[in-house]
Amino acid sequence: MINEVSKTTRAAFIASAVAIGLVLFYAWGLSVMYGRTSGWLIDHSGQPRANEFMGVRAAGELVLQGHAIDAYDWQRHQAQMVEIAGRSGMPYFQFPYPPTYFFVAAALAVLPYLPSAMLWLVVTFALYAGATARISGIRQAALWASATPAAAINTFVAHTGFWTAGIMGFALQEIPKRPAFAGALLAILSFKPQLGLLVPVALVAGGHWRVIASATAGTLALVLVSLICFGIEPWLAFPAQLSATQDALRFGDPRIAVSNYSIVVSIYGCLRTIGAPDSLAMVAQAATALAMTASVFLLWRSAAPFPLQAAGLVSASMLATPYLYIYDLLHLTIALAFLVQHVGLARLGRSEITVIATAGIFIFLPLVLPLPMGFAANVLIAGLITAHATPYLRAAIGWPVSAGLRVTS
């Protein structure tokens, strides 16, 4: 027992020291880029830099002006971005979210641009770091969570990665004890459903009917309130916007900035990066999604402890969707937090720590090389979780469990 405590303390100290070094490096990098031509938040002219946050901000300003439907009109939405930036000829970031996200977008448009972006990053990072610490049961995990390259990437573009990862983490953590609250959190996450494609599968397999009822009621309530506030017109326009965004990703569109396959970290994005045709990439993605669906169903039907089920769900959900960007890999941190809750920090072996460190390096590489290494990081973490889940999956389908892979609860 004393040796285990000593090992945990030593591992936590080393992890914290490395995390502090990485965070300082990220902070230095962001400070250097601030105010540069392709800088962080503000460019060399002192004007807001075009990024994903500006796309959401522009939609929010249109909502406050009483023209919510214009958020789905690329020409008018881009004109609003031009007004924010004070210049034209910049990359375009469309607003691909349902009208229920107008509430967040409008809130972000109340304050001036820079304070709004900074407040968004601080609040959502606190949510993400808090979820990681609570799930893992380790306070220092909030620091470790900030050290992943995905955190630096999301901070640079001021996007939704912290927000979605934090909500997913807290929602899953609350399922066993507060199912109604967990369902309400999942309803909030419905603005980005591609990140939770397999959540309904898991909830049905595990018989979490109160969570399903709460999530359904919460989602319907959000839709109803959005209809009351913004009318039905944005909902009628949203499907066309979603279709156009999907086509831009699949076939490319010079008008928008997010059709770069190297930052799409699904198997679809991986294959497209190396030149595979769209049809082949979509078949591979569909096959992967089917395999992940079956795996999640079996895992959540099995006798696996809940933290391991949650880790498997988060990891499989990222592999199942074709629309996964590099900043969405913050969800890997949530998956690892659940794995630590299941295994215990002291029981992580050197090989497992090596896998985690390698995955972090792979997340960083697409920033300097046009390679689909983000997908490789996703696969590495999925493999790590699968190694722990295998005995439960084997038992669930009636296969004999190999010696040394004893199922415990």
SS (H, E, C) 181-213: HHHHHHHHHHHCHHHHCCHHHHHHHHCCHHHHH
Query: What is the pLDDT at residue 409?
Result: 43
The band of 384, judged by pLDDT with boundaries at 50, 70 and 90, is very high
User: What pLDDT is recorded for position 334?
Assistant: 96
Q: Which of 163, 85, 93 lies closest to 122, judged by CA?
A: 163
Give pLDDT, residue 249.
75
Point out the least confidently predicted range of 4-8, 22-26, 260-264, 271-275.
Answer: 4-8
Average pLDDT, the chain: 87
Is the pLDDT reported for residue 99 higher than 50?
yes
Place of tokens 């230095």: 28
Residue 208's Cβ-count burial label (10 Å; 0-12, 13-18, 19+) is: buried
Alpha-carbon span 132 to 382, nearest angstrom: 18
